[in-house]
Structure 1
Amino acid sequence: MRNFILATFFLCCAFTSDKKAYQLFNQKGKLVEYEQVVTDALEADIVLFGELHNNPICHWLELQLLKDLHTKKKDKLILGAEMFEADDQVVLDEYLQKKITSRHLETESKLWNNYATDYKPLVEFALANNLPFVATNIPRRYASMVAKSDLTVLDSLGNDVKKWIAPLPIEVDLNLPGYKKMMNTGGESGMAHGHGMNMGNLAKAQAIKDATMAHFILSNWQSGQTFLHVNGSYHSDNFEGIVWYLKKQNPQLKILTIASVEQPEVTKLQDKSQNLATYVLAIPSDMTKTY
């Protein structure tokens, strides 16, 4: 009877243990608490939150970090995101200045399909707290031109258009591991190989996005401020991409990166994800997706 009771107790414990929705690790794979990330982010010049675009935990934690940074930084906080293209800055500003309605923002700018669930909360927080929100990404049509042709195609654009792109010419180091991997795998989805695209130009299209985001981050940041930027994790993983371009322009910047990964269990960080970022957000692989 005693053995049966003990077995039942241990079985119940096994099924009632906490199921973590995420776990944070430092660069070396050591468990850390969320509060530590906030503390370090408050001291950073630039915080690059690398997300998985369809992961609800990423979007929820981005909002929490924004709120907690704002509690301390107030008007010394700037928000920006890959999901807004530079030529939509006017419309975004008009909305944040309450000159237009959300309907105008949502119909007249190139919002992502998951805007309502995943990015609108960030915009609405900026609206409610009078925070600047910077549209940092290159208009996708110009990145597409580079992918199909080469960086030199941008030289033919008018000066009124070039203001939405990082200053030309753009230096691209295709030997950086992230770009080399892209050339070997065919991009995020691996589809580029099947479409006969030039892999070097595909990597250059990625680079022009990274360079442009870095450009608009620095153009809107001043010493003493913290710029919280949301982007796909691949744009800042391994301290490359946006980080590389930021450091080229200002090597003294204090940059904190967050990478997001999915793995079967989150009790321990997988070896391949160590050194991926200042902090790594590990999320269960079976987490519900937003799309």
Structure 2
Amino acid sequence: MNKLFIVALVVLIGSLNGCAAMVYSNKNSSEARPQTLYAARLIGSYSGVELSVEALAQRLAKTDVVVLGEYHGHQAAHLLQSQLQAALYSHKPLQVLSMEQFNMDNQAAVDTYLSGETGEAEMIEDSSAWDNYRGSYRPLVEFARQHAIPVIAANAPAKVVRCVGREGADYLGKLPEIERERLPNNPFMDTPAYRKKFIAAITDSHSAADEAMGERMNNTYKAQLLRDNTMASRILAAREAHPGHQVVHITGTFHSEEHLGTVALLKQRAPDISVAVISPVAWPAGANEAPLHSNRHKGDYLYFIQPLPEAFRNEEREQKAMSAKFRRPANDTCQGDSP
């Protein structure tokens, strides 16, 4: 989950109250920086070795879970995901696709599409697919459908996440028992480093430090933990349901970079599982050389991409746009009704 999404969640709560590998070099700066918004340069975080998609797939062929972080809506991230999905499949056809972009309570809508019972437009509507599904995630799901690969709706139910963000962890007590049982055990399992990172990201965007802001921040963090714990448990359930399969998990980079979030919770729940994290890094403006050293901690492998255009330069217009986008409908309550 990128910083913009974190800000959006705070606003929401506030409104309610193949080629051979080569060593990375900057000798030819015209080739160093990705030339288009579709281009990505894959580099081993600690080896400094630049890799093709095929070379990376070979390295990851025996990894239990491959976590592909993304900046939501970035063309290079989505193209790389599709390419690596296919390359990994060529080495290990026993594959499961796990996606943050579908919520677990919409699994049936995804399954009926994969089985041919519904069409794509029906699936998009029935699953509450993200607005950018056709442009960003369609290739992943279509590859899975064409090769009979299971697709896991990995995220927590959207309404439960929203209401935990508003009311805190106690909201789960309002859910019917059948709904609570579908959520992971210990749904707010945590790691200190992740909390520190999350709070730093929010305070960087929201400077207020009063008591009310502190409570909203804590509730927001609980909602984030619910997402991460749900995705971790869904990945493990997929491995249990499909023994010997490699899970390819697609997620916003905040959930996975530095081996925090979903990845840390995955390792807590299953210490023996092997996980590889692939994280995006935006190439700094005006730089000829990728800042490899300062970003090594973000993943086992990095892919350097151009930054997306700045969405707003007027802070007031940005706040208005965010408030309008995430304004709560009048009938959207958290009074114990089922999600």
Normalising by structure 1, what TM-score? 0.85
Distance 1:71 1:118, change over 3 A: same
Give the distance between the partners of 2:140 and 2:288, measured in 1 at CA.
26
- How far does residue 252 in structure 1 lie from its aligned partner after superposition? 0.7
Distance 1:65 1:120, change over 3 A: same
Q: What are the Cα deviations for residues 40-65 of structure 1, in whole angstroms up to 9, with x where unaligned?
A: 22110001100111210110010011
- How far does residue 100 in structure 1 lie from its aligned partner after superposition? 1.2
Give the distance between the partners of 2:207 and 2:103, measured in 1 at CA.
23
Secondary structure of the 1:111 match is coil
8 A contact 1:56–1:288 mirrored in 2: no
- How far does residue 272 in structure 1 lie from its aligned partner after superposition? 2.8
8 A contact 1:146–1:201 mirrored in 2: yes
Give the distance between the partners of 1:218 and 1:71, measured in 2 at CA.
23
Letter in 2 for 1:85: N
Residue 201 (structure 2) aligns with: 185
Secondary structure of the 1:274 match is helix
Letter in 1 for 2:201: T
Residue 137 (structure 1) aligns with: 155
Secondary structure of the 2:198 match is helix
Secondary structure of the 2:66 match is strand
Q: What are the Cα deviations for residues 136-185 of structure 1, in whole angstroms up to 9, with x where unaligned?
A: 00012111112112212212211222244212453233x22x32222233
Residue 88 (structure 1) aligns with: 106
Q: How does 1:66-81 map to 2 (within 5 A)?
A: 66-74=85-93, 76-81=94-99
Distance 1:163 1:112, change over 3 A: farther
8 A contact 2:33–2:283 mirrored in 1: no
- How far does residue 266 in structure 1 lie from its aligned partner after superposition? 6.7
Q: What are the Cα deviations for residues 7-40 of structure 1, in whole angstroms up to 9, with x where unaligned?
A: xxxxxxx998686322122222613212332112
Distance 1:163 1:92, change over 3 A: farther
Unaligned runs of 5+ in 2: 1-27, 312-339
- How far does residue 128 in structure 1 lie from its aligned partner after superposition? 0.9
Letter in 2 for 1:49: L
Q: How does 1:1-291 map to 2 (within 5 A)?
A: 20=34, 21-28=39-46, 30-34=48-52, 35-74=54-93, 76-168=94-186, 170-173=188-191, 175-176=192-193, 178-186=194-202, 190=205, 196=213, 198-222=216-240, 223-264=243-284, 265=287, 267-285=289-307
8 A contact 1:46–1:229 mirrored in 2: yes
Residue 19 (structure 2) aligns with: none
Letter in 2 for 1:186: I
Give the distance between the partners of 1:170 and 1:17, measured in 2 at CA.
44
Normalising by structure 2, what TM-score? 0.73
After superposition, the CA RMSD in angstroms is: 2.6
Give the distance between the partners of 2:224 and 2:142, measured in 1 at CA.
29
Secondary structure of the 2:273 match is coil
The count of corresponding residues between Structure 1 and Structure 2 is 272
Distance 1:284 1:160, change over 3 A: same
Secondary structure of the 2:99 match is strand
Q: Which has the larger radius of gyration?
A: 1
Q: What are the Cα deviations for residues 230-269 of structure 1, in whole angstroms up to 9, with x where unaligned?
A: 0001101111111111111111111001011102347433
8 A contact 1:91–1:109 mirrored in 2: yes
- How far does residue 193 in structure 1 lie from its aligned partner after superposition? 5.3
- How far does residue 111 in structure 1 lie from its aligned partner after superposition? 0.8
Give the distance between the partners of 1:165 and 1:134, measured in 2 at CA.
15
Give the distance between the partners of 2:303 and 2:33, measured in 1 at CA.
16
8 A contact 1:50–1:232 mirrored in 2: yes
Give the distance between the partners of 2:197 and 2:298, measured in 1 at CA.
15
Secondary structure of the 1:44 match is coil
Query: Relative to structure 2, which stretch is displaced further, 239-248 or 259-268?
Result: 259-268
Give the distance between the partners of 1:37 and 1:16, measured in 2 at CA.
24
Distance 1:243 1:285, change over 3 A: same
Secondary structure of the 1:221 match is helix
Unaligned runs of 5+ in 1: 1-13
Distance 1:266 1:108, change over 3 A: farther
Letter in 1 for 2:295: S
- How far does residue 104 in structure 1 lie from its aligned partner after superposition? 1.2
